[in-house]
Amino acid sequence: MHLRPLYNRLLPYLLSAPALVLMFLFLIGPIMAVLFLSFTDWQLGETAFRITGLENYLTLFSDELFLRSMRNTAFYIVMTVPTTLIFGLVGAMLILQSGAMRKLYQTIYFLPFMGTAVAMLIVWEFVLHPTIGVWGMIAQWFNLDPVNLLRNEHTALPILALISIWQNVGFAIVLFMAGLSGIPEEMYEAGALDGADGVFSKFSLITWPLISHVTFFVFILLTVHSFQIFESVAVLTKGGPNDATEVLTYTMYKEGFDYFRTNIASAITVVFLTGVGALVLIKAAWLEKKVHYQ
Smaller CB distance to another protein: residue 51 or 178?
A: 178
Task: Restricting to residues 153-212, name those near another protein by CB under 8 A.
Answer: 184, 186-187, 189-190, 192-197, 200-201, 204-206, 209-210, 212
Question: Which of 163, 132, 168 is CA-nearest to residue 245?
Answer: 163
Smaller CB distance to another protein: residue 153 or 197?
A: 197
Q: How far is the CB of 25 from another protein (least distance, A)?
A: 43
Q: How far is the CB of 184 from another protein (least distance, A)?
A: 7
Q: How far is the CB of 180 from another protein (least distance, A)?
A: 15
Instruction: Give the count of residues interacting with another protein (CB under 8 A).
Output: 21
Smaller CB distance to another protein: residue 115 or 184?
A: 184
Q: How far is the CB of 293 from another protein (least distance, A)?
A: 5
Neighbours of 182 (CB within 10 A): 11
Q: Is the dihedral of CA 76, 148, 249, 70 positive or negative?
A: negative
Site for another protein contains 99 (CB under 8 A): no
Neighbours of 19 (CB within 10 A): 9
Q: How far is the CB of 209 from another protein (least distance, A)?
A: 4
Interface contacts to another protein, rule CB under 8 A: 184, 186-187, 189-190, 192-197, 200-201, 204-206, 209-210, 212, 293-294
